[in-house]
Chains A and B, each alone.
Chain A
Amino acid sequence: MAAADTRVRPEPGVAPVPVVRRRSAIGRFWPQYLAVSPFYLLFLVFGLFPIAFSIFLSFQDWDGIAPMRFVGLAQYQFLLSDPRFWNAVGNTFLIWFMSTIPMLFLALVLAFLLHQNIRFKGFYRVAYFLPNVTSMVAMAIVFGSIFSDSFGIVNSALTAIGLDQVPWLSSEWGIKVTISAMVIWRFTGYNAIIYLAGLQAIPTELYDAAKVDGANTWRIFSSITVPMLRPVILFTVITSTVGGLGLFTEPQVLLGDNGGVGEAGMTIVLYQYNQAFTQFDFGYGSAIAWALFIIASVFAIINWRLIRERDTPRGGRKKGASA
């Protein structure tokens, strides 16, 4: 097709310099533009526009039916003094903290174990990954029954060994522990598989050299494995933070739209949902969304800083990483 454009009409008396008559880029490359356009169109309509609109909405008082009323920064002022919002922020961080630290530690240990020369590695990988792909609504219902106050299997087990029952779903700490347990259950295997891939990318010569130098297992783990895995560990910290800040399904299914006793399971996204779609306060819901965005951005910047500061002096990432 493009060949047609470069054809030059020979004119008498003019040196045969190919004079390319350029058609416009659109005319020449329309199939290419057409091929990449769906994403941009969809993003414009369903990605960018809603975001711009949500800034606008966060300055309004609107229940979705009555006319909008411009209130300026009132939504944000209210947000800053809203104890329910701050409770949700606190809960989100507590649950994130309670789940991420044990989860990543367990994942690292698991990956280290799976990295040994063992059989059935494929089976273990599937078994560990499965929680991550299953329907969270169904599994939240299952966890609700496992941790049920009156007939749950956890409390039955506690009774059987002579301990007191714990009101998992009707006490503030019980609620947070149950939600954290769900998050840990769901993502430990996922992170372990990612660490395992990272482990497999570490050159074996490093281990051999350490063994020759007489390093023991713990020394090898702390001086080679963990430092070499640093970029992968940071990746899992970032994804866990993003996931943790967006926590919604688990508390909503387990405890309902109000987050249970004392709103102990109320997360930021659940509060946003609650305000927008059960209280029909769309303006305030949008303001909560922006507050969450600011919190998430702060964390993204911290994470990014951490990566940059440590990585610059050493320079260059390892090459040839193959999963």
Chain B
Amino acid sequence: MSNDTLPTAQLGDPTQARADRHSRRRNRLAHVVTHVCIWIGVLLSMFPFYWLVTMSTNTTAEIFAFPPKLTFGTNLAENVENLLANVDLIQALLNTVFVAGALAVLVMFFDSLAAFTFAKYHFPGKNVLFTLLIATFLVPGSLSLVPSFVLMSELGWIGSFQALIIPGAANAFGIFLLRQFATNSIPDELLESARIDGAGFFRCYWSIGVPMLRGGLAFLGIFTFISAWNDYIWPLVVLVNPQRQTLQVALQTLNSIYLTDYGMVMAGALISVLPLIGVFIIGQRHFIANIAAGALKG
């Protein structure tokens, strides 16, 4: 870079003025290049979403046309109508909202309870228990696909929501994360004075722990909700009953059966994506910051 100007350089020095102009022009060029690259990235990132909306608003004939129609059409209502006539996507949507919502609530409750305890209480065996908790991170999930399925069928949970909700109702990741929050954000003095006022353990948790963990809980709730919404392989294995299908499974069934009606399949895909985008955009501040922070500390 050419801004190796010494502070002593005389004002009005013609060589210097030229160098300055040169450097400013270079900076502006760099600025433009930066923005062009960033926008190419944004467009590539967004294009599949745009294309999804385009396809779900066009007729299948228009989608198959050459060259393909790149703009929104007027067929959305009809595609959705066909969709609802062929599959019970509303049921699948409700199922997914129920499963993801229940998981988010349970995870927030059990994880915060454990995290609060680990952060603010001493009890025999605490360190051993916490080390065990960390060790479970090493246990890979994909290993247990087959035996978990067998277990579910022994329990009679195949085709039921318990199979999706109960095993994930508390997790090490969330406890670990919330414990960091609790250690930093809940002052011991506050708990001390609550105890002096006669508050028991659960009262302390509910009246002090939960309100002070709000930020971490918001992140954990959104994170769990999104993961549960997107989970595919486990519901695919466990939910054999079409009445109980989640969106992802219903969508894949739709995709493999109705190959010819692309507009309809895309309308289904759109319905499965939109609520999620809504949840993400509402909670994105908590979400992105925590994901990035987790990577730095991890």
| Chain A contacts to B: CB under 8 angstroms | 1, 25, 29, 31-33, 35-36, 38-40, 42-43, 45-51, 53-54, 57, 64, 106, 109-110, 113-114, 116, 118, 124-131, 133-139, 141-143, 145-146, 150-151, 153, 156, 159-160, 185, 188-190, 193-194, 196-198, 201, 211, 214, 216-217, 232, 235-236, 246, 248-249, 252-253, 256, 269, 272-273, 276-277, 282, 285-286, 289-290, 292-293, 296, 321-323
Contact = CB atoms under 8 A, between A and B. Distances in A.
B42 A124 contact: yes
Contacts of A217: 1
B151 A39 contact: no
A272 B252 contact: no
A146 B293 contact: no
Given A35-B201, A160-B67, A273 B265 contact: no
Nearest to B174: A39
A134 B148 contact: no
Interface in B178-203: 200-202
Interface residues of B, number: 98
A249 B232 contact: yes
B296 A133 contact: no
Nearest to B67: A156
Q: In this complex, which of B68, B133, B256, B295 has the most chain A Cβ atoms within 10 angstroms of its Cβ?
A: B295
Contacts of B255: 137, 141, 253
Contacts of B266: 141-142, 145
Contacts of A135: 229-230, 247-248, 251, 269, 272-273, 276
Given A136-B248, A211-B1, 8 more contacts: A49-B147, A54-B146, A113-B34, A137-B255, A193-B292, A198-B295, A272-B146, A322-B293
Given A124-B38, A138-B272, A36 B49 contact: no
A142 B146 contact: no
B34 A137 contact: no
Interface of B: 1, 4, 31, 34-35, 37-38, 41-42, 44-46, 48-49, 51-52, 55, 63-68, 110-111, 113-114, 116-118, 121, 123-126, 129, 132-133, 136, 139-151, 153, 166-167, 169-172, 175, 200-202, 205, 226, 229-230, 232-233, 237, 247-248, 251-252, 255-256, 262, 265-266, 269-270, 272-273, 276-277, 280-281, 284, 287-289, 291-293, 295-298
| 9 shortest interchain CB distances as A-B pairs | A197-B292, A31-B201, A50-B144, A46-B167, A138-B269, A50-B147, A29-B123, A53-B147, A39-B170
A106 B55 CA distance: 28
Contacts of B252: 137, 252-253
Contact of B143 (A116, A128, A141, A289): A289
A114 B46 CA distance: 17
Contacts of A139: 48, 52, 269, 273
A197 B48 contact: no
Contacts of B200: 1, 31
A204 to B, nearest CB: 16
Contacts of B37: 109-110, 113
Contact of B298 (A42, A151, A235): A235
A38 B292 contact: no
Given A32-B121, A46-B151, A114 B277 contact: no
B151 A50 contact: yes
Contacts of A42: 166-167, 169-170
B175 to A, nearest CB: 6
B144 A277 contact: no
A270 B37 CA distance: 36
Nearest to B50: A142
Contact of A36 (B66, B118, B247): B118
Contact of A145 (B55, B136, B276): B55
A118 B35 contact: yes
Given A29-B123, A135-B272, A282-B150, A125 B144 contact: no
